[in-house]
Chains A and B, each alone.
Chain A
Amino acid sequence: MSSVVDTHDHGHAGHDHGHHGPYGGIMRWITTTNHKDIGTLYLWFSFIMFSVGGTMALVIRAELFTPGLQIVNPDFFNQMTTMHGLIMVFGAIMPVFVGFANWQIPMMIGAPDMAFARLNNWSFWLLPFAATLLVLSFFMPGGAPGVGWTMYAPLTVQMGIGMDLTIFAIHLLGMSSILGSINIITTILNLRAPGMTLMRMPLFVWTWLITAYLLVAAMPVLAGAVTMTLTDRHFGTTFFNAAGGGDPVLYQHIFWFFGHPEVYIIALPGFGVISQVIPAFSRKPLFGYASMVYATSAIAILSFIVWAHHMYTVGMPVTGQLFFMYATILIAVPTGVKVFNWVTTMWKGSLTFETPMLFACGFLFMFTLGGFTGLVLALVPIDIQLHDTYYVVAHFHYVMVAGALFAAFAGVYFWIPKWTGRMYNETLGQIHFWLTMIFFNMIFFVQHFLGMAGMPRRIPDYPLMFETWNKISTIGAFGMGLAQVLFFYIVLDTIRNGKPAPQLPWEGADSLEWTHLPTPVPYHTFETQPVIK
């Protein structure tokens, strides 16, 4: 890890010219309260976790290349699926967008830094400890928990001590998220430049404001669920044990009360990035700004009343199933509004397709596909056929990878000139996009077929009729893994050898960080707030 941070350190040496500069060396990163440094830390941390979680995905796909048990035993396979999920959700996707928030929100609203600078440092430095706990669980007797990232009771009670480490890791991750969110809310509500009214904020800032509220509301619920699991395991409580008057399904209700807002916690900041990128490369203002804000808020509110659509097969009363089905398909309306707005923003624009725009278009196309399969799964009778099959795996990877991850890639390519003062290699960027796009679909599109044909998820071995699709999927997975090595190279190459970026590399970009700040951006910015007219 240190080598990665060191590498980046060189890249930053160029603009450590602020007054009262930072410590040198590693102490700069440990003690920093600068939002840009902390943003960088978040981004590198999430890249490291993305690599770890991705490697686990490759282990899973390698085992599934052919029927039979070849590479790992079923126990270790379950540990892989569990940790892949937890690490990708909490270690990779959530932190990457907090990294964006740290870098961008103060610059986009004309603030000098985040509101609570030291708290910001702590929010980040909780993460490496949480990640260490997660990884350590592999070395405990019995290994990491093999319960799935959803950690359903009472399977969790059977696990070894690795389960406890995972629970503590989730506590730390939750704390980090809550503190980060409080910081983001406070910054946005109090540190906007004069004239930057709420309805003038860039949409990225809006989506993060809403996301932060979701985090503050949802993360404590998860902490409660895992704490109850902990006391069931060690202190004789029976929250989730029928023999003592508890109910295993209660765990699922609590988990998904967190889990569904979590989906939007992951997706909304990505929506924000896309809402910056598409207008910039269409050279045209975002269509329906106000309706975007309202749609995002509507999605956030609805996300709290649809959780049980993850649990149609637990045996709810018919009224419960119908309520959750209606509420869930209702989300398609505001989500549709967003997609229509993005497409209309492109309509009659003056389009160019640099890498950020390619990833934005890829996002738009495939996230919508994931949304459509979401609509299919929202319908109780169809979900009962597809629940816990590979169809669901395909669906949520379209939302998480083609949605959130593609948005993150779009954001990195979009803002890296601002962050480093250097341009990335456009040809390599476009190759990265096409490889990722092709291999992603190779992995996950065929998984729709697997699910419909009846392949359950989280199995280390499968009947012979699923072999072909699994082979295609595995080949795609290794291709996509290699494509991300290219991404790593592109970022390093940008930092070390990139051509100096022009002041405004993107013709159509018009938020404050482009219009009011030099490129590369100085260590301290907006010590005097700009006045927005």
Chain B
Amino acid sequence: MRGTKVIQALAALAGLGICGSAHALEWYFREPGSKLAADVDWLHQLVMWLIIAIFVVVFGAMFYACYAHRKSKGHKAEQFHENTAVELVWTVVPAIILVAIAWPATKVVIAQKDTSSPDLTIKVTGYQWKWGYDYVKGEGEGISFLSTLATPRAQIEGHEPKGEHYLLEVDNNLVVPVGKKIRVITTAADVVHSWWVPSFGAKQDAIPGFLRDLWFRPEKTGIFRSQCVELCGKEHGFMPIVVEVMSQENYAEWVGKKTKEMSAAVEDANRQWSEQELVARGEKAYAQHCQVCHQPTGQGVPNSFPPLVGSKVVEGPKDAQIHLVLNGRKGGYRPNTEMPAQNALSDVEIAAAITFTRHSFAKPKDNIVQPAEVKAARK
């Protein structure tokens, strides 16, 4: 691919000249991280070369005519206007070329659809606006966590310089072992999202109420980054997907660590928390899950997201607030958009976040919510 290198270099020069940007120019598929992605890349190159060949022939003819058959050069128009043989040829030949493309494409489609006998099955749930990962079957079964954007708001709003992985970093990476067939089952809790890892050639819409699946077999370790690719509302651009491929040993270690964390979390949910603990934990949870809409100040956004400061719900009885956070509230006629149900969050997170809001944005009497109360409120 020397030609590609040359084009890349030229494009880089042009880009640098215009913008003085320090970033390498990305202009082609990312380097394949699985056989499937490599097959797609190969198929794309096949089609591109065919297209370029046809393009050169057809527009070579057009530009030649534009040059040689001009009136200003004294060219007299001939008056032919049909030729059955020629017309037959240019109907049949393209049809044959298309069959030549369809054949290899079909093979890749069939391979892409074969999600049978996976080593590890993970359920991916799209939420507004984060991803939930549940390890359903295989090594690590039972692990479950949410994955939200880790880029600080200050970077997005331009108060801080942007980091290397701006918008492509999360708090909890999806971790998978190298060389294993991974089956991903997608679904969503609210609206349609779409889960995509370009390096694996894997993309599947996550549809609320339905299960769909895809598979990939990562061939090398490393971190692979991507984003949600189906418009899912306001924060659609801010729910990245980060997959970390680990060696088998590291993966086993990670599973052990994660399982311990999960059981610690269960204990956490059952114990009584102190006020300071809850507020401190709640500040984190609020920043992670609530402030994209309700804003760090709790003032909301007029006509879109209601303020928590002075809100009747935050001032009022805590049971009602627990209920609203767990189950969400419909939009519709009201000016405010729908509040999505937050029942994917843990009891600790919900209890802490509610406690935090009842300390920071209002001062009702019963301002402490224990995880046990949230647990009881779940149906």
Contacts and interface: CB of A to CB of B under 8 A. Distances in A.
Given A325-B109, A368-B55, A286 B81 contact: yes
Given A74-B235, A147-B231, A382 B102 contact: no
Given A160-B335, A376-B44, A346 B65 contact: yes
B70 to A, nearest CB: 5
Interface residues of A, number: 105
A459 B236 contact: yes
A463 B234 contact: no
Contacts of A459: 227, 236-237
B19 interface: yes
Contacts of A337: 87, 90-91
B296 interface: no
Nearest to A74: B234
Contacts of B23: 464-465, 467-468
Nearest to B25: A468
Given A247-B210, A288-B87, A67 B337 contact: no
B24 A336 contact: no
A350 B69 contact: yes
Interface string B66-83: 100111100111111110
B304 A453 contact: no
Nearest to B227: A456
A351 B70 contact: yes
A353 to B, nearest CB: 8
Interface stretch (B187-195, B282-290, B368-376): B187-195
A293 interface: no
Contact of A375 (B51, B77, B162, B186): B51
Contact of B303 (A141, A284, A285, A329): A141
A144 to B, nearest CB: 12
Nearest to B106: A322
A434 to B, nearest CB: 15
A379 B102 CA distance: 8
Contact of A352 (B29, B71, B336): B71
Q: Which among A247, A329, A339 has the highest number of chain B CB atoms within 10 Å? A: A329
Interface in B190-223: 190-192, 194, 196, 198, 201-205, 207-210, 212-213
B178 interface: no
B21 A467 contact: yes
B109 A351 contact: no
B47 A322 contact: no
Contact of B39 (A243, A381, A472): A381
A26 to B, nearest CB: 36
A313 B203 contact: yes
A427 to B, nearest CB: 17
B301 to A, nearest CB: 7
Interface string A271-296: 00000000000111111111100000
B195 to A, nearest CB: 10
A284 B78 contact: yes
Q: Which among B23, B190, B237 has the highest number of chain A CB atoms within 10 Å? A: B237
A189 B112 CA distance: 49
A458 B29 contact: no
A152 B193 CA distance: 11
A380 B36 CA distance: 13
Interface in A279-337: 282-291, 313-315, 318, 321-322, 325-326, 329-330, 332-333, 336-337
Nearest to A471: B19
A351 B191 contact: no
Contacts of A148: 231
A112 interface: no
A379 B196 CA distance: 18
B59 to A, nearest CB: 6
Interface string A367-384: 011001001100111101
Contacts of B81: 284-289
Contacts of B95: 333
A146 interface: yes
B26 interface: yes
A284 B332 contact: no
Contacts of B113: 318, 321
Contact of B40 (A75, A234, A343, A382): A382
A58 B166 CA distance: 24
Interface string A203-223: 000000000000000000000
A454 interface: yes
B175 interface: no
Range of interface residues on chain B?
Answer: 35 or more
A344 to B, nearest CB: 8
Contacts of B43: 379, 381-382
A135 interface: no
Given A69-B157, A241-B209, A361 B66 contact: yes
Tell me if A's interface is mostly helix, strand, loop or mixed.
Answer: helix
A162 to B, nearest CB: 10
B229 interface: yes
A471 B331 contact: no
B40 A385 contact: yes
Interface string A93-124: 00000000000000000000000000000000
A356 interface: no
B82 to A, nearest CB: 6
B236 A453 contact: no
Contacts of B301: 73, 75
Nearest to B93: A336
B299 interface: no
A248 B78 contact: no
A9 interface: no
Given A160-B331, A325-B105, A459-B236, A154 B191 contact: yes
A464 B24 CA distance: 10
Given A158-B337, A384-B112, A68 B162 contact: yes
Contacts of A147: 231
B280 interface: no
Q: Which among A243, A313, A337 has the highest number of chain B CB atoms within 10 Å? A: A313
Nearest to B97: A332
A233 interface: yes
Nearest to B169: A463
Given A288-B87, A380-B112, A508-B77, 8 more contacts: A289-B82, A332-B98, A350-B75, A350-B77, A449-B11, A456-B228, A459-B237, A461-B237
Interface of A: 67-70, 73-75, 78, 141-143, 146-148, 152, 154-155, 157-161, 233-234, 241-243, 247-249, 282-291, 313-315, 318, 321-322, 325-326, 329-330, 332-333, 336-337, 339-340, 343-344, 346-353, 361, 364-365, 368-369, 372, 375-376, 379-382, 384-385, 387-389, 449, 452-454, 456-469, 471-472, 475, 508
26 contacts: A69-B157, A141-B303, A152-B192, A158-B190, A159-B331, A242-B209, A248-B191, A248-B192, A286-B81, A289-B81, A315-B205, A337-B91, A350-B70, A351-B69, A353-B70, A372-B54, A382-B105, A385-B40, A387-B194, A388-B229, A456-B229, A458-B237, A461-B167, A462-B167, A463-B166, A463-B168
